[in-house]
Amino acid sequence: MPSDAKRIAELRKLIDQHNRLYYTEAAPQISDHDFDSLLRELIDLEEKHPDLITPDSPTQRVGGEPIDGFKTIPHAQRMMSIDNTYNRDELRAWYDRTLKAIGNLQSSIVDPISTITLTLEPKIDGVAVSLRYEKGQLVQALSRGDGKRGDDITHNVRTIRAIPLTLNTEDADPPDVLEVRGEIFMPDAEFQRINDNREAQDLDRFANPRNATAGTLKSLDPATAAERRLMFYAHGRGELIPNTFSSHQEFLASLRAFGLPTNEHTQTVDTFDDAWQFIESFQETRNTLGYATDGVVIKIDDHALQEQLGATSKAPRWCIAYKYAAEQATTTLLNVEWQVGKTGKLTPRATMEPVFLAGTTVQHATLHNYGEVHRKDIRIGDSVIIEKAGEIIPQVIRVDTDQRKGKEKKIAPPKSCPICKAEIAIDYDTKRLNDIERYEARCEAAKKKAEKEGAKPQLPDKPKPLGPADESARYCTNPECPAQFREKLIWFVGRNQMDIDGLGEKAIHLLADEGLLKTFGDVYNLHTQRDKLLELDRMGEKKVENLLAGIEASKSQGLARVLAGLGIRQIGASASAALAQHFGDIDTLASSDPDDIAQVEDIGPITAQSIHDFLNSPAGQHLITELKDADVKLTEERLVIPKADDTGGKSGGPFAGKTIVITGTFEAFDRNELKARLTQLGAKVTGSVSKNTDLLLAGDKAGSKLNKAEQLGIEAWDESKLIEALN
């Protein structure tokens, strides 16, 4: 025990040191693999000795419990915005005005002041945050909010490895209270990775890194923030007790010593001309940084002068942001191709005359969807103005119609999939769909009221019908379309779907390359290809046996898992479980009309139509037939769902009306599936234990939730009691 405790302390110190070297000093000394090994060792030791886990341990970055909502908390010192300008003359006017104000403050000086030290920092296009450290420990992180009050986002900020949970005190002691203002942002490479993953899950792509960062920080589940590798740079101060810093340069140097990263491109100058030279040179540099910046912040360096200059009602007088105008270029649209993505989404991709823009040569740009093409009236042969959204993704901003010569060609939307020629489905703008649904509901209410009163109904104004401008996406409806088949199959066999051990991503690509996987049904015919499997590279006797055994075992997963694995748009694990419980078998579901499907809880009319269209398309029917022929279980055991009582609540059964928390791992249940089943039985399943929790379901390695439940006197069941209650 003593040796383990000593090793835990050593590992924490090592991990904090390497985080500081990586994020603050940009001088890593070990590889990512070696760092992960240190972290894994610490996790294992802390699992062995849970009493030694502390809130500032590096292992506590990985998530914690989801929260029910955000608390709004006052800032100790107001987080003000910064005035900005887009041109040199306005920046010069601010500089001269500030020099004059400083001269007036220093009236004892006979000669007017002509220069002042300025600090220049890149203006990162991220999300502002205020970090509060007390006695060197991170105790709170607030968003900007309205400047006076911000949301408590501590649960998410703690997962960001660039932000130390405990300040380094080897060189100096931090103030008792140290509030650090800074910017949280998402590097370009991480933004691309997340968008690729979202597309694979049939989710909308984030428009730019800032939106992605904001969405991450507003997640109630810290596991989301932990999975997305956000970055942070400190650039300002809030409350300091005591305040011993005389200049911004000194403050930033101290932050770096404490382990907080600051931007390496920060520079101090003594004249306006030097400041302008930095701004001009940084405009080229910023395209090579790997994260989004939109300007330069110019600050008076001296803290005493900052205090004397003060602020307006909105912004400090001692700083200003020079913002670069989004760089644009004009080129000619040569052609448009419709690309089929991993989820079947059809995206128009523009090919243009090559043009240099924001540090790179651009020849292609996304046109997003046909609705965008129609609204902007983009035509082949047009002279178009392009810019990079968020400094990353090239997009067409507008068409220069004055340059049209009459030979431009309108872009026709695809009527079928350009790859497999299957039927397509069209999604429309959610707001327009909601407007139409509200109109129909209001009409129905008006008719009922008029009928009751014996009067003529007063109907609301009818919204215009959906048209091409309202389109948000077109999709190929064929699940076995070659453009998306492999990615869909990887999803289908995944752990939370059919859970076929041995059939991972590499194996699927290998088997598809060999022509052994062309449809979903081919998975269940691999036992007839045993000799061919044994001939493949790295497919030995034992591996093939395990693969075929995994395929055979997957046949009994049931309808909920099958539906979750088919990649039907907007259908996840919970919706699949609800559908399987409601309809019981695939034939009943497929033969139901969209209105019947929409009666299932959490299934709206748009999703219901998507399910109906998929299952009744030729491709969907072929897929169902293949799975039936392979004896895959396409039914679900129906649970007895409690009926609503007279008060509208649910009665009957041990779960009805209870708030339940699930923790640990279970042999007989998948967590998502169990959550869906309990919800169907009238329970409310939450992520964290509180005084409002009625029941804790504790599987293997239940951990801290079980401890907290015991402290609060909350009833806890093990898996055997859970199974008994469900039966």
Provide the annotated active-site residues: 123
Q: To the nearest 5 percent, what fractions of the chain are helix, strand and coil?
A: 40, 20, 40
Contacts of 714 (CB under 8 A, 6+ apart): 689, 693, 694, 695, 696
Tokens 């991450």 map to which residue? Answer: 216
Contact predicate 664/700, CB 8 Å: yes
Distance CA 498, CA 507 (A): 15
Query: Quick check: helix, strand or coil at residue 131?
Result: strand
Distance CA 161, CA 140 (A): 16
Helical ranges in 568-668 per DSSP H: 573-583, 586-591, 594-597, 605-616, 618-629
Exposure pattern of 464-503 as b/e (b: 16+ CB <10 Å)?
eeeeebbbbbbbbbbbbbebbbbbbbbbbbbeebbbbebb
For 97, 364, 387, 504, 604, the CA distances from 326, given in Å and listed in that order, are 27, 18, 7, 43, 40
Distance CA 506, CA 620 (A): 26
Question: CB 281: neighbour CB atoms within 10 A?
Answer: 11
Q: Mind spelling out the 3-state secondary structure of 563-594?
A: HHHCCCCCCCHHHHHHHHHHHCEHHHHHHCCH
Distance CA 565, CA 489 (A): 8
**For helices 272-285 and 88-105, what crossing angle results, to 10°?**
140
Q: How many CA atoms lie within 13 A of 40 on its CB side?
A: 6
Query: Quick check: helix, strand or coil at residue 601?
Result: coil
Distance CA 517, CA 530 (A): 13
